[in-house]
Amino acid sequence: MKKIVTAVAAAALLWGIAQPGAAQAQRALDVASTFPKGMVYLGEGAENMAKLLEDVSGGKLKMKVHGAGDLVPALEVFNAVSSGAVPAGWDWIGYWGGTVPVTGLMGAMPFGPDPEVFLGWMWEGGGLEILQKAYDKYNVQVFPCHLTAPEAGGWFNKEINKPEDFQGLKMRISGLGGKVINKLGASSQLIAGGEIYVALERGRIEATEFSLPIIDKSLGFQNVTKYYYFPGWHQPSSWNSLLINQDVWKKYSELEQKQFWAACKANVVWSMAVAPGAQGKVLDEFRAKGVKVQRFPEPVLAALRKASAEVLQEEAKNDPIFKEALDSLNAYMKVAGNWMELQSLQTK
C-alpha cells in the first residue's frame, strides 16, 4: 500500500512539473488595462475576450481585467508586462511607439488601410509575425484581439478651416498622428483616456481625439467642445491587443495556448460587428446638443496626408522593423486594393 501511495504521489508531482499550464489555468490571469474598467467598447473588449476565453476552454482559463491605474498607470502597462510586474495587459498597440517604434504603425497607420485590409495583413499577410519579432526582445507575447472601426478626427474648440489653424494648437492625439500634426505647427500630447476630459475642461489642451462616437460620448467631450470633425485620418482602423509576459505564456499547455488564440480571433469578430450600427444615433444626439459635426476641408486633409507620408518615411529610416512593416503593409494594401477597386459599387 505504501508503494502505491508513493507512486501516486510521485505521479502527481511529475504531472505538476510536466504540466505547469494545468496549474496556471486554475487561477485567473490578472490583466492590467490601459482603459478604465468597463469603458464602452474599448474596455469592454477585454471583458469580452475574458468571456470568450472562459467559454472556449470550458471554464479552465480565466482573465481578471483591472482598469487603468488599478495595478499600474495606464501608460506603463507594456513595461510592467515586460518586466513581469504584472502577468498580462490590455492596450491600444500604438501607445508603445516610444519604446517599440513599429507599434506606432501597428496601432494605426495615418491614411492607411480600412479594417478589412488591416485585418487581412495582420493575421494572414505577415503583420503579426513582424510585431511579435519586435516584442520578443521585451519578453512579451502579443495577441491582436480587437480591431477598431474608423475613428473620429477629433473634438476642437475652434473651427479648422485651413492647415494653418493647427498652428500652436494643443491637442491630445496618440500614435503617429501626433507627429503628423506637429509638422503643421501643433503641439501634440499623449494623455490616457480617463484623464482627457479634465485636461479639456481645465484648458491644458484645446482639442482631442480618442475613438468612436459612442466612446467619446461616454467620456463627455460633447460637454466641453463645440466642433466634432471627420474623417479619422489618423486611425482609419486600429488594433488593441492582449499582452502576456512570455515566462507566463510558456507555462500554458499547447492546447491552452490554442484556446487563447481562438478566443482572440473570435473577439476580433465581435469588435468589428458591434461598432458600425451604434454610431449614427450618437451623432444625432451630439447635433441636438449644438455640436457641429462636420468633415475637415479638403485642403486640410491634403496637408495632413502630405505630412503623414513624411512621418512614415522618417520613421522607416530610423527603425528597420518599422521599415519592414511599412513595406509589407504597403505591398499588401496595393495587392488588396487592386481587387477591392474592381469590386467597388461606387461610381466616380
Residue 226: name the closest of 214, 208, 211, 210 by CA: 208
Residue 235 marked ligand-binding: yes
Residue 210 marked ligand-binding: yes
C-alpha cell at position 232:
479619422
Residue 116 marked ligand-binding: no
Residue 284: name the closest of 228, 200, 224 by CA: 228
What's the burial of 282, exposed, middle or buried (CB within 10 Å: 0-12/13-18/19+)? middle
Phi, psi of 292 (to 5 degrees): -90, 110
Residue 285: name the closest of 231, 230, 217, 221 by CA: 217
Residue 187: name the closest of 202, 201, 200, 168 by CA: 168
Enumerate the known binding-site residues for substrate: 151, 172, 209, 235
Enumerate the known binding-site residues for Na(+): 210
Enumerate the known binding-site residues: 151, 172, 209-210, 235
